[in-house]
Every structure is written in C-alpha cells, then in structure tokens.
Amino acid sequence: MKEDGFPGPTAAQAIEAGADDATVPAGQHPPRVEFVESCDLPTPWAVFRLHGFIDRDTGKEHVALTLGDFSDGTPVLARIHSECLTGDALFSRRCDCGAQLEEALKRIAAQGRGLVLYLRQEGRGIGLLNKIRAYRLQDAGADTVEANHALGFPADMRRYDICKPMLEHLGVSSLRLMTNNPRKPEALERFGIHVAERIPLIAGLNPANHRYLLTKRAKLGHLFAGYREEPED
C-alpha cells in the first residue's frame, strides 16, 4: 500500500510484468480458470452466447461471447478485450476501447461466427482506481506510459495465459485476431494459442484520444496504418 492509501504494484506483479512485458504468467502453475455457466445474450447485432468463467487464483470473473459453430476447427474471428469501464460502459472518448469492442461485435455478427474474450484486467492491469490516478497525471501532461511509470507500474500488466483454458472450453484452437497490438498475437502464441491472422481494428478515433493513440503507436508498438500526426476535427 502506498502512503496515499492507494495500492501500488506488488512485488509479484512487478516481477510478472518485467520490462513492460504483458506476456509472462502471474504464477508458476497454469491458471486455474473454471467454466461456471452460460446463457443467451441478445445484443443490437446478434444473440450471442455468454459464458462465465472464474480464475480461482485471483477470484476475477471473466466472460466469453460466442456466435456460431466452431466444431469444424477453422480459425475463429476473435477479439481478446480487456475490461475498460470508462470506455466500454461510460462512453469515454479518452481511449478507443468501447469503439473497438462494438466494432468487433458488429464484425462477428456480420460473419455469423466468432468470439470475444472479455478479461477483467482494467487499465492494462493496474485496476480502476489506479487508472483514475493515471488519468489525473495525464490531465497534467503525462502520456499513458509515463503515467503508469509515475505510479510505479509497468506500461502493461495484462495477462494472456488465462485465455487458453477459456478457449479450450469453447473448443477453439486457432484465431483470426482483431487487434492493432502485434504483441498480443505473440503473447497468445507463447501460451500455445495459434493466431492464424492479425486483423486491424481501427475504430473510435477522435481528438480526445489522439495523443493516447500516438503514444500507443510510438511506445507500445501498436499499428495504425495511415493514422495522421494531427488530430481530425
């Protein structure tokens, strides 16, 4: 706990994340992610199947949204999406998260087959309250990476080892992954998840998130083909 009463990174988290690396498992054993239940989830674009999972090591609850039949073994159109309360639920324009999630669901619905893994790792793994603290630092001039570092966190603390047991339960072994982050397919491959194709997912660009997206491109390696240095109105 930091002097201001807010939690900082634990020693295990700092070791896990290493040099801003989001690909290292949190523990020395495979994640104990268990399926709990599933139900229908009507959305504006399709009726998805919602599957609930729990990580017994952390107590975090994750979900998968699926559409269509995966039994033929062909690569599945997919989005691995980390929770962003501000963007996904509160319509924040500081990031592109909510727009990416909506675009992914629309694409899956249009194809009639695909999945989204929705992982509860807010703020690239630092948690909601620390994310708000990071936003305050960004309001004062820091970029998204500098803000994490100022709070004592690596740039990205997300885990992708938890995806494997979820995908195994769903009978999925190969993905057509919608992401602008080339590190994400690399991380998934490291945990035995085959990524047959990376598909760009550019959505929600606006003046309020322009610097954020430029920082993701410059410091986190995200790919935004044709993205302009100056924001569009």
First to last CA, the chain: 42
Q: What is the pLDDT of residues 135-180, one digit of tens each?
A: 999 999 998 899 999 999 998 899 899 999 999 999 999 999 999 9
Catalytic residue among 156, 161, 183, 198: 156
Report the pLDDT value the prediction gives residue 23, as an integer from 0 to 100.
Answer: 47
72 catalytically annotated: no
Q: What is the pLDDT of residue 214?
A: 85
Q: How far is CA 53 from the centre of its chain?
A: 16
Q: Is 156 a catalytic residue?
A: yes
Q: Which of 124, 133, 158, 183 is catalytic?
A: 158
Average pLDDT over residues 9-28: 43
Report phi then psi at 148, rounded to 5.
-60, -45
Instruction: Tally the C-alpha atoms within 13 A of residue 157's C-alpha that lie toward its C-beta.
Output: 24
pLDDT score of 221: 73
pLDDT of residue 30: 77
Q: Is the pLDDT of residue 232 over 60?
A: no
| Maximum Cα–Cα distance across the chain | 55
Distances (CA, A) of 145 to 22, 131, 211, 219: 13, 12, 11, 8
Choose between 224 and 188: higher pLDDT: 188
Contact call for residues 154 and 17 (beta carbons, < 8 A)? yes
228 band by pLDDT with thresholds 50, 70 and 90: low
Q: What band does 220 get if pLDDT is binned at 50, 70 and 90?
A: confident
CA angle 130, 97, 53 (to 5 degrees): 75
Question: pTM to 2 decimals?
Answer: 0.84
Strand boundaries in the chain, DSSP class E: 33-42, 47-55, 61-67, 76-82, 114-119, 174-178, 194-199
* C-alpha 95 chain-centroid distance: 12
Rounded to 5 degrees, φ, ψ at 177 are -90, 125
Condensed to tens digits (0 to 9), the pLDDT of residues 37-65 reads 999 999 999 999 999 999 998 999 999 99
Most confident among 213-217, 222-226, 229-233 (mean pLDDT):
213-217
Instruction: Output the CA torsion sign for 83, 84, 85, 89.
Output: negative
State the average pLDDT for the chain. Answer: 86
Tokens of 183: 């590190």
Q: What is the percent of the chain with per-residue pLDDT over 70, rounded to a whole number?
A: 84
> What average pLDDT score do residues 83-107 get?
95
Calpha distance 152→180 (Å, rounded):
26
8 Å CB contact between 88 and 148: no
**CA distance to 11, 115, 189, per residue, from 51 (Å):** 32, 11, 23
